[in-house]
Amino acid sequence: MKRGKRILVVCHCLLNANAKVVPLATCPGVCMEPLRASIEAGVGLVQLPCPETVAMGMRRFGMTKEQYEHAAFRRQCRAMLEPVLDQIQAFAAAGYEITGLVGVDGSPNCGVRTTCFGYEGGEISAPESNIPEQLANITFGPGQGVFMEELLAGLGARHIDVPLFAVEESNPEQLVAVDRRTS
Ligand code: SF4
């Protein structure tokens, strides 16, 4: 039997940097470095959907967690995640090892340890929007992204416990193990 029966679940853009908001891609396609050890060890990869590309397409602006914090978007995340959670559950029930889940720190959706706060939106052409001030208020701080929160809740509801890992959105070279007690 050739299969390794080990699976790593990864955020979409780590296997397809083309999904990033323009111009945030840091590589042409696959972010090899954080995944290299798993790939070389024969671990299979399950790619999550990119919630932003699914919901907003490729002409979207960069947004913050406050902007994605909306019941309808969370519902959409849960709908996107259901078939993936079904797959993960099927693998786990069949005795496959889920070696981890890799998120993208800094993302308003896929952040594991940190996410992006601040800009609250509005009509950008209106003088009262005060875009420079809104841009200046963008911060990165502790917290999970919206999609990650829904994913972890979905895994929890199915009693699937997986190790968490993160890469940094602006420099996804290193894979960092995340202590769930502090994430
Ligand atoms: S971090 Fe998440 S939401 Fe952002 S581009 Fe990657 S997969 Fe999409």
Do residues 100 and 152 touch, judged by C-beta distance below 8 A?
no
Give residue 19 CA to ligand 1 midpoint distance, Å: 7
* pLDDT value of position 135: 86
Q: Band of the pLDDT at 181, cuts 50, 70, 90?
A: low
Work out which ligand 1 atom sits closest to the CA atom of 51.
Answer: 3
Asked if residue 31 has its Cβ within 6 Å of ligand 1, the reply is: no
Work out which ligand 1 atom sits closest to the CA atom of 24.
Answer: 5
Asked if residue 19 has its Cβ within 6 Å of ligand 1, the reply is: yes
Which pLDDT tens digit goes with each residue over 63-104? 999 999 999 999 999 999 999 999 999 999 999 999 999 999
Print burial letters for 90-109: b (CB count within 10 Å at least 16), e (below 16). ebbeeebebbbbbbbbbbbb
| More confident call, 173 vs 67 | 67
* pLDDT value of position 127: 83
Residues 46-66, mean pLDDT to the nearest whole number: 97
Asked if residue 151 has its Cβ within 6 Å of ligand 1, the reply is: no
